[in-house]
Amino acid sequence: MTLLEIILAIILPPAGVAMRYGLGGKFWLNVLLTIIGWLPGVIHAFIVLSRSTSYSR
């Protein structure tokens, strides 16, 4: 993860996910989790961003 992705994952989780994966399923799931509560969105963003991107684009 880059520093910018970490900062975005904390402040605005969907932006951090969208920065790496675009507006796909991971982004919309993160939007839903962030609407439910900020903390679930942050946790999901960190899990998604910490995974290797070679197999999940």
Query: Would you write out the chain's pLDDT as a tens digit for each of its 57 residues?
Result: 788 888 989 999 999 999 999 999 999 999 999 999 999 999 999 999 998 655 555
Query: What is the rounded CA–CA span in Å between residue 40 and residue 54?
Result: 25
Q: Where are the domains of the chain?
A: 14-50
**pTM given for the model:** 0.82
CA distances from 31 to 38, 47, 54 (A): 10, 14, 23
Phi first, then psi, for residue 41 (nearest 5°) are -65, -40
Quote the pLDDT of residue 51.
84
